[in-house]
Structure 1
């Protein structure tokens, strides 16, 4: 009897040792979920995959003694596809972190998946401020930018410059609606007036009917509440309609990222005002990282989503090491404790999951002002993090304590 008991205990201990060894060899898996082929591919796509892998290499390739693996997939800008990929990744492939997730409708769908699973989502690609508002989660972080910060930076500035009447051309889904909503609030608060809006489907080729409505409104600001390929097409076609170059009506791209400006070229984009949280030529650190990124990304310049994906990956890995686990709730809690420190971000993760960071008001240079490759932007103003973030006293995030 005693020999049987000892043998059974030995067998259990041996099995436990095998299990611990097996767990130690399982990779910590990071999934980059984004648009690989559509209108946001230049802003996210393989650039985000390269950025995540750069961060893993810079971290050392292992955490908690386990290798780190980066995988990726294309959500095709469809919330159901994005949610299904996220669920499969977590339940069958052991993915611990989902990154990027551009397209706010997809981002919100994935947020609901990670909320009920042991996985973290760090949204570096979608903009809706609801990700740190009513859709906030103990498993989620909103990293690079949001519609509130964009609105706080560009909305108030243009009203102060005399743009006191606004017409919105808005992408008809969660992101466009949130950006129009948040910008309208700042325009109204600054003494301006919204005189109308037109909604367009995602990935629109022909903006003529929307631009004609904007012209007929006589609004001083024609605000593009869209992104990526839609913004590029709208700006090009606005020029054909005579919008943007006259003193009467000015085109404002509420989310114009650096690859968009690069795709447009200075001749078409000159004079446009933009709001970003990152641009490559900000300082020596951003220039050094961009040089490395260009070599990985076929010479294509980085967006703030790419920069954010790098920083989010690095901060997540530091939090995993500090927490001693990949448990989603514990890791996100540790992310909120640790300061963020990389070439792009010097800040913190607030209790609602929003990264606190400054926003930059930028203007696209004239061709004659550009002195070297990618010299496209000039800095007009910096909005500090406290001014660019929705006050917690106004938050509808269930995790925020009443103030």
Structure 2
């Protein structure tokens, strides 16, 4: 059974719903907490869509696995690490939550990873992007699903440098995601003999006017403006760059590299403004028969006239694999030990309609291909949400940072 809940934590606006039975009455129920952005700049890229993905996974797992019982909670971390960590402690200590899913915002994700390891509970990072989750901050209780900054940098950044776009300027959100995107993309660009001519960091989430930063980019001599941000900031920066004429065709025009952008962002921009953008996603609703079937099943749970993105799909797939592993281990054993459950997840191959077959590496990174897409022009689109054409696919093993390169302490002998 899936029961949303609403509660508050230390005055924080954390949304969740009361369980219908007394807490702890039924220890065999697996409880998943979707910790996401329900009111801020990542609401469309995560938020209700991530909750919908986890609810669908719970329904399908209960239908397929005899005796499995699941409840789903949700809360808003407000893009604040202390708020997120406080909700996680409440969920683990008081509300018998066994696993936390999603967590857009890398700073919040790193905080949750620490709490989950301390409490021996599972963290399914399907929305956080920083590679530190499988590097220096890796943990036996964390699985990093969907995407990370290395995957995005290698796919999008590598393709642009190979095409001759070798002079870059970074516009960076001053928080963990922005820093990680800049670091990993810079490594890819320089390895491919490109150059980073400059960068500017801006305060998040206070900044909405990017004009002064865009002028710095324009005067740098760079040919590529790399956006190391996400959500509403990416949309605003692209719109303002067009207004300033930065992307005007011709000798002076810059190419925009949106290092983390979702199909909902393209929808908000419109094809006329977004056409020609190169971007990377590990899921596209219209990629193949399996992704279309998954989309058909999740649509009734999402906002009207919308389509799932890779984060929504990752929340579904990560939760589904967790529930399969917990059922195989036994619900009571899974509730006792998050690290034992993650070990079982790593031992089992993954397979779902969103990402197809794959597996989870020793450092906790879930492996699947990364797809480089180009946004279609209005004339190329056949209808609503027909936005992408695939340019290239990076195989799963190449889309993840090399296993020994991240500094994960779990790999030390």
Both structures adopt the same fold (TM-score exceeding 0.5): yes
Question: How is 1:3-402 mapped onto 2 (pairs within 5 angstroms)?
Answer: 24=26, 26-60=28-62, 65=67, 67-203=69-205, 204-247=207-250, 248-298=253-303, 299-324=305-330, 325-326=333-334, 327-345=337-355, 346-401=357-412
Question: Paired residue for 2:18?
Answer: none
Given that 1:152 and 1:388 are in contact with CA atoms closer than 8 Å, whether structure 2 keeps it comes out as yes
Shift, 1:23, TM fit: 6.3
Shift, 1:291, TM fit: 2.2
More helix by share: 1
| CA gap 1:25/1:110 in 2 versus in 1, 3 angstroms | closer
Question: Paired residue for 2:3?
Answer: none
CA distance in 2 between counterparts of 1:297 and 1:24 reads 30
Given that 2:157 and 2:257 are in contact with CA atoms closer than 8 Å, whether structure 1 keeps it comes out as no
Shift, 1:246, TM fit: 2.4
Give SS of 1:198's match. Answer: strand
CA distance in 2 between counterparts of 1:25 and 1:150 reads 40
Shift, 1:60, TM fit: 1.6
Give SS of 2:140's match. Answer: coil
Shift, 1:24, TM fit: 5.0
Give SS of 1:238's match. Answer: helix
Give SS of 2:35's match. Answer: strand
5+ residue gaps in structure 1? 1-21
CA distance in 1 between counterparts of 2:308 and 2:149 reads 20
Given that 2:46 and 2:312 are in contact with CA atoms closer than 8 Å, whether structure 1 keeps it comes out as yes
Residue correspondences, number? 381
CA distance in 2 between counterparts of 1:97 and 1:61 reads 20
CA distance in 1 between counterparts of 2:66 and 2:94 reads 22
5+ residue gaps in structure 2? 1-23
Greater shift, 238-247 or 176-185, is seen at 238-247
CA distance in 2 between counterparts of 1:302 and 1:94 reads 29
CA distance in 2 between counterparts of 1:208 and 1:393 reads 41
Structure 1's consecutive aligned runs of 4 or more residues displaced over 3 angstroms after TM superposition are 22-26, 61-66
Cα deviations across residues 355-390 of structure 1 (Å, max 9, x unaligned)? 011111111011111012211111000011121111
RMSD: 1.4
Shift, 1:63, TM fit: 6.6
CA distance in 2 between counterparts of 1:257 and 1:378 reads 14
Shift, 1:62, TM fit: 9.0
Give SS of 1:368's match. Answer: coil
**Structure number, greater radius of gyration:** 1
Shift, 1:240, TM fit: 0.2
Greater shift, 24-33 or 206-215, is seen at 24-33
CA distance in 2 between counterparts of 1:393 and 1:26 reads 38
CA distance in 1 between counterparts of 2:400 and 2:129 reads 13
Cα deviations across residues 337-360 of structure 1 (Å, max 9, x unaligned)? 000100122210000000011111
Cα deviations across residues 146-187 of structure 1 (Å, max 9, x unaligned)? 000111111111011111100000110000000000000000
Q: Normalized against structure 2, the TM-score is what?
A: 0.90
Question: Paired residue for 2:10?
Answer: none
